[in-house]
Amino acid sequence: MSVPPTTSAFGATTTAAEVIDGVDLHGRRAVVTGASSGIGVETARALASAGADVTLAVRNTEAGDRTAARLAAELPSGSGELTVGRLDLADRSTVAAFVAGWQGPLHILVNNAGVMAPQQVTRTSDGREQQFGVNHLGHFALTTGLHRALAAAGGARIVSVSSTGHLFSPVVFDDLDYRFRPYDPWTSYGQSKTANILFAVAAAERWADDGITANALMPGNIADTNLARHMDLRQIEEFIASGEIALPPQKTVAQGAATSVLLAGSPTVAGVSGRYFEDCAQAEPVTGRAGAVGGVAPYALDRDNAARLWHVSEALLG
């Protein structure tokens, strides 16, 4: 696999529009999950502006229709088409329906949707802890279901939106659903975000012969997003004061979408696979959480962990 460029014109303050400037994605088809708000909207906007036909895969199709109409009115002539599809990652039947309804190749899949830090343990319809069930298992079912479409594209890219929150926890294989240990919203979130990275690592290896690349990323510290709707802001302030977490400088939504768009459409990372990026560059490894404002934990890139998670996920989905 290729190594990402050591120098780049892109960085922490780069916007999605700047990343995609001059890139031609006409003839490409993309799916962006959770594209009715936040960085999902900006990711869809950037890819469509470069000519890609983008499907907004959303739980609330009315909100998706409004977003698609607004983007269509704002995009320049020659942009790709925007469509809306229903996808509730907590409901496996909608995932199956989305997969069954997809026809033809798929060039770009951005697994962007997610839930963060519900304060009480919540479970999906099939009994999985919600953050693991939505952030990982829902996207795992979607992506494996679309494997043929991705393989048919020739050079397809999978983008897995993770977080520096993965530093809160590895995947705890013996208790994925908090049936034994006390529920904690942050270790649960961390486990799901680690799973997002491990999925990219496993997919990169398993599907390399299909010409598919897969990478994960941290979008940044973005306050203006629905992802934070469950967050206990006082708890976060206490974490920061105690040194439990440290946050990087805030980004705008347009800046937060930049790394997703880089991995989805930029020629500068062509052939790169199985990596974790932040601020439009490959992240450096870290050996502990205390004081870290970025970087990637070794357990999140471990190939044995990735292979184990893939097998466990297949078993959980039957």
Burial of 210 (0-12, 13-18, 19+ CB in 10 A): middle
Residues 294 and 163: their CA atoms lie apart, in Å, by: 9
299 annotated active-site: no
Residues 117 and 132: their CA atoms lie apart, in Å, by: 11
**What residues pair up with 157 in beta bridges, in sequence order?**
108, 213
3-state secondary structure of 191: helix
Structure tokens at 31: 């799916």
Task: State the amino acid at position 77 in one-letter form.
Answer: S
H helix and E strand count, the chain: 12, 8
Contact 39, 253 (CB under 8 A): yes
Question: Parallel, antiparallel, or unpaired for β 213-218 and 157-161?
Answer: parallel
- 178, 183, 189, 299: which one is catalytic? 189
Q: Where would I find the H helices in the chain?
A: 16-20, 38-49, 61-74, 92-101, 130-131, 139-145, 147-153, 185-206, 233-242, 253-256, 258-265, 303-317
Residues 104 and 89: their CA atoms lie apart, in Å, by: 22
Rg (the chain; Cα; Å)? 18
Say which residue the tokens 């999978």 belong to: 158
**What residues pair up with 53 in beta bridges, in sequence order?**
29
Q: Report, as residue numbers or ranges, the catalytic residues.
A: 189
